[in-house]
């Protein structure tokens, strides 16, 4: 039996996902979480075969939650769910440890197929995302933010969202000096001079709302 944790802050979304999964005789939703923190606690104290994780979560964003889950259980497949299309953000999430990325508007059969794929230890790549990856290989090009490390990308997203350096330091249990160093490194790698430029870039590339 495939044991599934659904982590999404919308009860109606969780109910819909459970309904889709209920028709599969070898799958069972064994727990639900409405926040990132709750998802982390559940994974710390129980066994699951896969986590369905909403990218936009309270009490720890999807990116933060993904990082914590992979630190605790590196082998645990995490399938990202999002209202955004398969854009460059999905590529970075795969690099950050996600096992797959699925748009919430996808057909139920696609969700079930994605779950089976990641549980088998493989990456789930939808046709639109496969096209993006293929184009990158064909053109030999990478988006500017793809050169960032996982931690740099995490801090980049927070800076682009307008979160102050002091608050980022508090959320990530880092010193202000360390976050400032990461900020300088991100700006240098991306060839930018201010947080405003980071925000403009992130919005243009659908990396933040």
- pLDDT exceeds 90 at position 67: no
In the block, which residue shows the tokens 């559940």?
A: 42
Of the pLDDT bands very low, low, confident and very high (cuts 50, 70, 90), residue 27 is very high
- pLDDT exceeds 80 at position 85: no
Return the structure tokens found at 8: 């999404």
Residue 182's contacts (CB-CB under 8 Å, 6 or more residues apart) are 151, 152, 155
User: Mean pLDDT, the chain, as a whole number?
Assistant: 85
Of the pLDDT bands very low, low, confident and very high (cuts 50, 70, 90), residue 20 is very high
Domains of the chain in start order, with CATH, are: 2-137 (3.40.50.2300), 144-204 (1.10.10.10)
């Amino acid at each position: 039996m495939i044991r599934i944790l659904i982590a999404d802050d919308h009860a109606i979304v969780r109910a819909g996902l459970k309904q889709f999964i209920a028709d599969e005789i070898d799958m069972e939703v064994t727990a639900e979480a409405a926040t990132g923190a709750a998802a982390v606690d559940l994974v710390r104290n129980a066994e699951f075969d896969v986590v369905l994780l909403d990218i936009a979560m309270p009490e720890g964003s999807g990116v933060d939650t993904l990082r914590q889950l992979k630190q605790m259980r590196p082998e645990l497949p995490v399938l990202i769910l999002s209202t955004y299309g398969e854009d460059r953000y999905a590529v970075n999430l795969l690099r950050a440890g996600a096992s797959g990325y699925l748009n919430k508007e996808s057909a139920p059969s696609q969700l079930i197929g994605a779950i089976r794929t990641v549980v088998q230890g493989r990456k789930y790549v939808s046709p639109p995302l496969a096209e993006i990856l293929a184009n990158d290989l064909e053109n030999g090009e990478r988006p500017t933010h793809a050169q960032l490390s996982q931690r740099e990308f995490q801090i980049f997203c927070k800076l682009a969202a307008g979160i102050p350096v002091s608050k980022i330091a508090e959320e990530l249990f880092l010193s202000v000096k360390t976050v400032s160093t990461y900020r300088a490194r991100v700006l240098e790698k991306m060839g930018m001079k201010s947080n405003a430029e980071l925000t403009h870039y992130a919005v243009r590339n659908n990396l933040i709302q």
